[in-house]
């Protein structure tokens, strides 16, 4: 699919218009963003898969946001990084169109997804009687609507409503921000894009969290009703609201510079916008892929605890498979493993749930039970040893007991 461009693709439009040093700097930053985004979003999706049976409707939007961030990472960075280091766009006109479409699709999907998340949080906190009726099936339907909404504007330029072209700095592709200066259809596309895909979502997000803040401050009774013993969710949704606000601030902070520069080029004199301004704004925009996993993996207790248990079990499996492990060390790790298994994890629904449920009991929690921890000892006989529980030892001290 990705082929090097022919002679017609080596025109000035695909040549970098910023310095070689700036391109190398962009390529280096994009490489860091790519690694962090891949690691963070893949880990977040893995954790979400392990706790899929306990996911709340609002958390479906967190997963969808991670999917759109991962899609942007996989579709944009592998093309933008080598182009930046090569000081020109390497992949031709057709790939440029697809690159731009993916950028618009995943970017708008993320923003629309955050808008839907803010509405759901507002519904649950401000209107708990209706919010409690919002189920996982409603969340899935709304997620599908998010992708359809973003797809309309992503496919538009391919249907000649607006245009995709090389970025002003030359090493990436996006919407042709110069076209509105001389084409009416392109102008209408930019106006609709700005109103329905930036101004309106930002307004909805701002109003939703403003209503939430006013509701929490003015009537804690509404919040207590939402987190009543009927659902046993304690302060789970309050935490989701806080984390959602953090993600929204990070996302809007990343994309606002690009939106400002794009509007400057679309409705002002495009020739007066320096290419370096687009390049810097693009760096901020692409950093948006790392905020969501950072916020939720670091700040959401049930995600963080499940991740810790997963990594602990992986380390123990690797250690048990090591042929050089000392028997006495294995005895110590076994005791620690039994200790870890007895520690339950408090999930965001306020209920105690063990790590076994996090990994293995997603389908039928009733089948999940943990064996109480038992103290064990190693019995050395000559050069061999065997491990038994303390309850199996006789009351008389043994000479070979270690």
134: domain CATH number is 1.20.1070.10
- Say yes or no: 129 and 244 in one domain: yes
- Say yes or no: 280 and 310 in one domain: no
Q: Please tell me the total count of domains within the chain.
A: 2
Q: Are 176 and 165 in contact (CB under 8 A)?
A: yes
Q: Tell me which residue of 63, 43, 59 sits closest to 308, measured CA to CA.
A: 43
Please tell me the total number of residues recorded for the chain in this structure: 402
**What b/e string do you get for 221-238 counting C-beta neighbours within 10 Å, with b at 16 or more?**
ebbeebbeeeeebbebbb
Question: Residue 48 and residue 202: Cα distance in Å, rounded?
Answer: 27
Structural domain boundaries enclosing 351 = 306-392
Residue 397 is assigned to a structural domain of this protein = no
Q: Are 316 and 60 in contact (CB under 8 A)?
A: no
pLDDT at 4: 42
**What b/e string do you get for 272-307 counting C-beta neighbours within 10 Å, with b at 16 or more?**
ebeeebbbbbbbebbbbbbbbbbbbbeebebbebbb
| Residue 142, Cβ density class (10 Å: 0-12 exposed, 13-18 middle, ≥19 buried) | buried
- Say yes or no: 331 and 257 in one domain: no
Residue found under tokens 């706790």: 51
- Say yes or no: 219 and 98 in one domain: yes
Q: Is 400 left (phi over 0), alpha (psi -120 to 50) or beta?
A: alpha
- Say yes or no: 251 and 315 in one domain: no
pLDDT at 372: 52
Residue found under tokens 């690797």: 318
Q: Tell me which residue of 402, 337, 345 sits closest to 373, measured CA to CA.
A: 337
- Say yes or no: 151 and 250 in one domain: yes
- Say yes or no: 255 and 387 in one domain: no
Dig out the tokens for 77 from the structure.
């960075």
List strand residue ranges (DSSP E) for 217-362, in order: 345-346, 352-353
pLDDT at 234: 41
Q: Tell me which residue of 131, 134, 141, 324 sits closest to 211, measured CA to CA.
A: 131
Residue 114 is assigned to a structural domain of this protein = yes
Helix (H, G, I), strand (E, B) or coil at 173: strand
* Neighbouring residues of 397: CB distance < 8 A, sequence distance ≥ 6: none
C-alpha atoms less than 13 angstroms from C-alpha of 14 in its C-beta half-sphere:
21
- Say yes or no: 75 and 58 in one domain: yes
pLDDT at 97: 94
231 DSSP assignment: T
Which of 299, 328, 357 is where one domain is finished? 299
Chain centroid, CA 71 distance in Å: 10
The per-residue pLDDT string of the chain (402 residues; one tens digit each, 9 = 90 and over) reads: 334 444 444 467 788 889 999 999 999 999 999 999 999 999 889 888 888 888 888 889 989 999 999 999 999 999 999 999 999 999 989 999 999 999 999 999 999 999 998 898 888 888 888 888 888 899 999 999 999 999 999 999 999 898 999 998 989 999 988 887 778 888 899 999 999 999 999 999 999 888 888 887 776 554 455 545 444 444 555 676 777 788 888 888 888 999 899 888 888 877 788 989 999 999 999 998 898 888 877 776 666 677 667 667 766 777 776 555 454 444 444 444 444 444 433 333 444 433 333 333 334 444 444 445 555 555 555 545 565 555 555 444 444 433
List strand residue ranges (DSSP E) for 122-189, in order: 164-166, 173-175
Dig out the tokens for 148 from the structure.
């359809």
Residue 187 is assigned to a structural domain of this protein = yes
Question: Residue 386 and residue 333: Cα distance in Å, rounded?
Answer: 16
pLDDT at 86: 92
Dig out the tokens for 51 from the structure.
């706790």
Which of 299, 321, 337 is where one domain is finished? 299
Residue 290 is assigned to a structural domain of this protein = yes
- Say yes or no: 127 and 108 in one domain: yes
- Say yes or no: 295 and 310 in one domain: no
Residue 2 is assigned to a structural domain of this protein = no
Residue 11 is assigned to a structural domain of this protein = yes
Residue 120 is assigned to a structural domain of this protein = yes
Which of 264, 299, 334 is where one domain is finished? 299
Beta strand 376-381 with 384-389 is antiparallel
Percent helix / strand / coil, the chain, rounded to 5? 70, 5, 25
Question: Residue 224 and residue 116: Cα distance in Å, rounded?
Answer: 23
Residue 399 is assigned to a structural domain of this protein = no
pTM for the predicted model, two decimal places: 0.71
- Say yes or no: 219 and 134 in one domain: yes
- Say yes or no: 267 and 366 in one domain: no
Question: Residue 333 and residue 331: Cα distance in Å, rounded?
Answer: 6
């Amino acid at each position: 699919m990705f082929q090097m461009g022919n002679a017609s693709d080596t025109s000035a439009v695909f040549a970098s218009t910023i310095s070689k040093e700036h391109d190398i700097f962009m390529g280096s930053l994009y490489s860091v963003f790519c690694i962090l985004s891949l690691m963070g979003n893949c880990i977040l999706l893995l954790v979400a898969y392990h706790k899929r049976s306990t996911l709340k409707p609002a958390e479906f939007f967190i997963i969808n946001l991670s999917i759109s961030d991962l899609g942007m990472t996989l579709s944009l960075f592998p093309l933008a990084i080598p182009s930046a280091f090569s000081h020109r766009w390497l992949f031709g006109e057709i790939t440029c169109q697809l690159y731009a479409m993916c950028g618009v699709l995943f970017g708008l999907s993320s923003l629309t997804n955050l808008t839907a998340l803010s509405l759901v949080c507002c519904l649950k906190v401000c209107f708990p009687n209706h919010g409690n009726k919002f189920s996982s099936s409603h969340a899935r339907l709304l997620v599908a609507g998010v992708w359809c909404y973003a797809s309309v504007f992503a496919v538009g330029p391919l249907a000649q409503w607006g245009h995709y072209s090389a970025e002003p700095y030359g090493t990436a592709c996006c919407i042709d921000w110069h076209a509105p200066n001389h084409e009416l259809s392109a102008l209408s596309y930019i106006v609709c894009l700005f109103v329905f895909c930036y101004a309106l979502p930002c307004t909805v997000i701002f109003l939703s969290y403003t209503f939430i803040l006013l509701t929490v401050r003015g009537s804690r009774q509404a919040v207590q009703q939402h987190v009543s013993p009927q659902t046993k969710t304690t302060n789970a949704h309050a935490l989701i609201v806080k984390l959602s606000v953090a993600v929204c601030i990070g996302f809007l902070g990343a994309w606002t510079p690009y939106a400002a520069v794009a509007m400057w080029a679309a409705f002002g004199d495009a020739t007066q916008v320096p290419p370096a301004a687009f390049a810097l704004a693009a760096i901020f925009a692409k950093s948006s892929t790392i905020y969501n996993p950072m916020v939720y993996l670091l700040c959401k207790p049930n995600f963080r605890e499940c991740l810790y248990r997963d990594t602990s079990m992986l380390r123990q499996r690797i250690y048990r498979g090591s042929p050089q492990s000392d028997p006495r060390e294995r005895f110590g790790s076994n005791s620690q493993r039994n200790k870890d298994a007895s520690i339950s994890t408090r999930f965001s629904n306020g209920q105690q749930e063990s790590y076994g449920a996090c990994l293995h009991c997603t389908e039928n929690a009733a089948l999940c039970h943990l064996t109480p921890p038992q103290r064990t000892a190693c019995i050395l006989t000559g050069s061999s040893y065997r491990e038994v529980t303390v309850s199996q030892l006789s009351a008389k001290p043994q000479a070979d007991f270690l």
